[in-house]
């Protein structure tokens, strides 16, 4: 089912509620924003609405967290990047907010207070239920249209994400549209062979992705790295040493070993595990085959031999989807695997990267422009790759059905 786009809305001179995801790392002492990547990703959508009254709804963190704060600094940062005024409103839907929106003119950009200051926004609920919330009723009464550009929260079922599209004519912003269309291409139309590289510490999500893409013929091969690889080593009967085994227990991933065994039993010829690893031994990097990992050393990276073999596989791929690092890349001694695999992935015809840590590494390496697409949403991206419909996308489809 289609979703509406900015081209469908005709919102010149109108008031548009624009849902962004500006949730960013913040210095807990100074409240300075440490990374403005998400701000930059939303600029094209804001500029495309330059002849509308734009009312931004966004959030920072969640209740109980140290970085749960007001959006004054966010409005200042956006103003700096946009090169035109952004007015911070210290209210979400109170009289102050309503009066500011009413007084605004086409071309004005307003940013409402952190929407998660409203208790209802922190609840997961069905769209019909979300539509009836006080938050959605008050916000929808303030504008003509709703535009959702917040792909980073697309996997959430919160009122502004799933309720507003049912309350008013809605569309995807340019970033949301790009994310959905590019990630959809992974499922059909991506150049073959398709290789998924699944790493990092989110083992349960990665195993769900691996099962889905292998069962449905979406990926030709799946390379497992990082903690994901350690779970597959255990599933294949290898002893990965006490520190790495304990880490899997601490992360409560013992149940994933059985799922990894099922994947290996069914698709073992299409799952590639690094044949050797780098460990920390006596404070230094040392390399061992996976059947001879010393009992008291933690696995920290791929070995150089394993890296060479995996790079060779990537070079033969038409599409690479990369999610999660190969090891403890923050330590220069163990960053090689992650860095070199990313460099190899950037050279294929169609390359997609999940958000989070991997995107941060790419920026550090200065190779962002070499990738076809770097997703802005780690959780949303990986959920999309498991084949699940994202609540935000479903809500936009429903809005298109209801309002055209």
Q: Is residue 180 part of a domain?
A: no
| Inside any domain, residue 120 | yes
Side-chain-facing half-sphere of 107: CA atoms under 13 Å: 4
* Same domain for 223 and 78: no
Distance CA 202, CA 207 (A): 9
pLDDT for 336 equals 97
Same domain, 225 and 253: yes
Give me the domain span that covers residue 151.
6-175+390-403
Report pLDDT for 290.
Answer: 98
Instruction: Classify residue 383: in a domain, yes or no.
Output: no
Is the pLDDT at 378 greater than 90? The verdict is no
In this structure, are 11 and 93 located in the same domain?
yes
- State whether 161 and 15 are in the same domain: yes
Q: What is the mean pLDDT of the chain?
A: 96
Pairwise CA distance, residues 343 & 91, whole Å = 45
* Per-residue confidence band for 30, with pLDDT thresholds at 50, 70 and 90: confident
Beta pairing class for 373-374 and 271-272? unpaired
**Residues 10, 104 share a domain:** yes
Alpha carbons 68 and 59: distance in angstroms, whole number: 9
Percent pLDDT > 90 in the chain is: 91
Reported as a pLDDT band with limits 50, 70 and 90, residue 377 is confident
Return d(Cα 241, Cα 300) in angstroms, integer: 12
In a domain, 373, yes or no: no
Most confident of 22-31, 332-341, 369-378: 332-341
Q: Is residue 381 part of a domain?
A: no
- Residues 196-239: tens digit of each pLDDT: 999 988 899 999 999 999 999 999 999 999 999 999 999 999 99
Q: What is the CATH number of the domain that holds 294?
A: 3.40.50.1260
Handedness of CA 149, 196, 217, 262 (dihedral sign): negative
Q: Give helix 226-235 / helix 242-250 axis angle, nearest 10°.
A: 100
Mean pLDDT, to the nearest integer, of 57-71?
95
Domain count, the chain: 2
pLDDT at 31: 80
pLDDT tens track for 121-177? 999 999 999 999 999 999 999 999 999 999 999 999 999 999 999 999 999 999 999
Confidence band for 348, pLDDT divided at 50, 70 and 90: very high
Residue 355 clears pLDDT 80, i.e. is over it: no
Please give the Cα distance from 403 to 194 (Å, whole number).
38
Residues 131 and 202 in one domain: no
**pTM of this structure:** 0.91
User: What residues contact 112, with CB distance under 8 A and at least 6 apart?
Assistant: 55, 56, 57, 58, 71, 89, 91, 92, 93, 97
């Amino acid at each position: 089912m289609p979703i509406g786009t900015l081209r469908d809305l005709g919102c010149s001179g109108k008031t548009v509620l624009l849902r962004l995801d500006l949730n960013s790392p913040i210095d807990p002492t100074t409240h300075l924003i440490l990374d403005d990547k998400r701000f930059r990703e939303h600029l094209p959508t804001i500029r495309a609405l330059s002849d509308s009254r734009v009312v931004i709804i966004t959030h920072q963190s969640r209740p109980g967290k140290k970085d749960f704060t007001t959006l004054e600094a966010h409005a200042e940062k956006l103003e700096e990047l946009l090169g035109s005024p952004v007015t911070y409103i210290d209210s979400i839907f109170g009289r102050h907010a309503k009066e500011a929106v009413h007084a605004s003119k086409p071309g004005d950009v307003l940013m409402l207070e952190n929407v998660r200051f409203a208790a209802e926004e922190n609840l997961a609920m069905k769209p019909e239920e979300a539509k009836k919330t006080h938050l959605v009723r008050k916000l929808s009464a303030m504008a003509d249209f709703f535009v959702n550009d917040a792909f980073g929260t697309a996997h959430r079922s919160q009122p502004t994400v799933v309720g507003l599209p049912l309350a008013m004519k809605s569309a995807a912003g340019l970033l949301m549209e790009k994310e959905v269309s590019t990630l959809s291409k992974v499922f059909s139309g991506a150049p073959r062979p398709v290789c998924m590289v699944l790493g990092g510490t989110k083992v349960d999500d990665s195993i769900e992705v691996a099962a889905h893409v292998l069962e449905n013929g979406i990926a030709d091969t799946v390379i497992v790295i990082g903690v994901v690889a350690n779970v597959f080593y255990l599933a294949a009967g290898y002893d990965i040493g006490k520190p790495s085994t304990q880490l899997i227990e601490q992360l409560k991933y013992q149940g994933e070993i059985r799922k990894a065994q099922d994947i290996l039993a069914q698709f073992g010829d299409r799952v590639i595990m690094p044949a050797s690893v780098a460990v920390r031994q006596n404070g230094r990097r040392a390399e061992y085959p996976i059947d001879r990992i010393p009992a008291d050393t933690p696995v920290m990276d791929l070995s150089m031999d394993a890296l060479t073999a995996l790079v060779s596989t990537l070079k033969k791929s038409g599409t690479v989807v990369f999610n999660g690092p190969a090891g403890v890349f923050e330590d220069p001694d163990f960053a090689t695997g992650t860095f070199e695999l990313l460099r190899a992935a950037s050279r294929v015809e169609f390359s997609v990267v999940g958000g989070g840590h991997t995107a941060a590494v790419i920026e550090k390496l200065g190779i962002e422009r070499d990738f076809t697409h770097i997703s802005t949403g780690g959780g949303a991206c990986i959920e999309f790759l498991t084949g699940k419909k994202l609540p935000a996308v479903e809500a936009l489809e429903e809005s298109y059905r209801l309002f055209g």
